[in-house]
Chain A
Amino acid sequence: MAKALEGIRVIDLTVWFQGPVSAQYLADFGAEVIKVERPEGGDQARGVRSIKSLEIGDWNQYFLVINRNKKSIAIDLKKQEGQEIMYRLVEKSDVFLSNMAPGLLDSWGLSYEKLSEINPKLVYATNTGYGRHGDVSKPSFDMTVQALTGIMARLGEPGQPPVYLGMGSGDAYGGVMSAFGILLALYHRQRTGKGQCLDASLYGAQLYLAAPYLQSYLAGNKECALQHSRKQVQNPLWNLYPSTDKWVYICEENTDERFARLCKSLGAEILSDDGRFSDVATRVENNEALIEAIEELTGQKSHAELMESFDQHGIVASPINNLADVIKDEQAWQNNYFMKAYCEEVKREVDVRGLPVSLSETPGEVNTLGPQLGQDTEILMMDLLEYEWEKIEELKAKGAIP
Chain B
Amino acid sequence: MSKALDDVVVLDLTKSFSASLTAAFLADFGANVVRLDFLPDAHADRDQAAAADAPKARKWDHESDLIHRNKQSLALDPNSEKGGKILKDLFAKADVIVTDWALPDLEAAGLDFPAVRKLRADVVYGRVSGFGPVGPDKDLPAIDELAAARTGMMPILQQPGEPPIYTGAGAMHSTALLALGIVLALVHRQTTGEGQQVDTSLFAANMYGASLDLQAFLAIGHGDRLLNPISRLDVSNPMSPGIYPSADGRWVTLTMPDTDRWWPDLAKIIGLDPDDERFNSHDKRTEENRCALIEELEKGFLEKPGSHWRQVFMDKQMSADVIEQFDYPASDPQALTNRYVLELDHPSFGKLKSLGFPVFMSDTPARLKGLAPCVGQHSADVLHDLLGYSEDAIVELAREDVVA
Contact = CB atoms under 8 A, between A and B. Distances in A.
Interface in A310-343: 316-327, 329-332, 334-335, 337-338
B205 A356 contact: yes
Interface stretch (B42-50, B82-90, B225-233, B386-394): B225-233
Contacts of B159: 156, 160-161
A208 B359 CA distance: 10
Contacts of B181: 357-359
Contacts of A324: 152, 217, 222, 227
A187 B218 contact: no
Contacts of A50: 236
B359 A180 contact: yes
A52 B236 contact: yes
A249 B354 CA distance: 32
A155 interface: yes
A177 B176 CA distance: 7
Interface string B356-396: 11111111100000000000000000000000000000000
A148 B215 contact: no
A53 interface: yes
Contact of A357 (B149, B204, B353): B204
A176 B180 CA distance: 7
Contacts of B191: 6-7, 190
Interface centre among A157, A230, A337, A350 (most CB of B within 10 A): A337
A152 B232 CA distance: 14
A327 to B, nearest CB: 5
A185 interface: yes
B243 interface: yes
Contact of A247 (B5, B155, B216, B318): B155
A359 B155 CA distance: 31
B216 A51 contact: yes
B337 A147 contact: no
Interface in A1-36: 2, 4-7, 17, 21, 25, 29
A155 B216 contact: no
Interface residues of A, number: 141
Contacts of B148: 249
Interface stretch (B70-78, B100-108, B128-136, B271-279): B128-136
Interface centre among B4, B162, B201 (most CB of A within 10 A): B4
A91 to B, nearest CB: 20
Contact of B164 (A181, A214, A320): A320
A318 B149 contact: yes
A242 interface: yes
B200 A357 contact: yes
B340 A357 contact: no
A218 B317 CA distance: 30
Interface in A179-222: 179-181, 183-188, 190-192, 194, 196-201, 203-205, 207-219
Count class of interface residues, chain B: 35 or more
A225 B327 contact: yes
Interface stretch (A79-87, A163-171, A275-283): A163-171
A358 to B, nearest CB: 4
B211 A21 contact: yes
Interface in A136-151: 136, 138-145, 147-151
A335 B5 CA distance: 29
A238 to B, nearest CB: 8
A188 B2 CA distance: 9
Given A167-B212, A322-B227, A196 B361 contact: yes
Interface string B117-143: 000000000000001111111100101
Contacts of B323: 147, 152-153, 162
Contact of A360 (B21, B197, B327): B197
B contact patch SS: mixed
Contact of B198 (A7, A51, A54, A359): A359
Interface string B171-188: 111011111110111111
A72 B204 CA distance: 29
Contacts of A151: 167, 169
B55 to A, nearest CB: 15
A304 interface: no
Interface string B213-250: 11111111111011100101000110001010100000
A154 interface: yes
B319 interface: yes
B180 A337 contact: no
Given A167-B212, A197-B362, A207-B335, A213 B134 contact: no
Given A29-B184, A357-B184, A334 B132 contact: yes
Given A150-B328, A357-B200, A358-B198, A56 B168 contact: no
Contact of B325 (A153, A156, A163, A211): A153
Nearest to B355: A215
B324 A147 contact: yes
Contact of B176 (A57, A131, A176, A318): A176
Contact of B132 (A200, A337, A362): A337
24 contacts: A2-B192, A51-B212, A54-B226, A136-B334, A138-B313, A161-B243, A172-B208, A187-B4, A187-B5, A188-B363, A191-B190, A196-B361, A204-B340, A208-B340, A209-B169, A212-B63, A219-B60, A224-B326, A251-B143, A326-B151, A327-B218, A353-B211, A356-B204, A361-B195
The list of the 10 closest CB pairs from A to B, nearest first, reads A131-B338, A53-B236, A335-B132, A219-B62, A150-B326, A334-B135, A196-B363, A323-B152, A141-B255, A356-B204
Interface of B: 2, 4-7, 17, 21, 29, 59-60, 62-63, 66, 113, 131-138, 141, 143, 145-146, 148-159, 162-169, 171-173, 175-181, 183-188, 190-192, 194-201, 203-205, 207-223, 225-227, 230, 232, 236-237, 241, 243, 245, 251, 253-255, 286, 313-314, 317-330, 332-335, 337-338, 340-341, 352-364
Given A211-B21, A212-B171, 17 more contacts: A54-B223, A57-B219, A161-B245, A183-B180, A186-B187, A187-B183, A187-B186, A192-B2, A196-B364, A207-B356, A208-B340, A210-B326, A212-B17, A217-B327, A321-B149, A337-B203, A358-B199
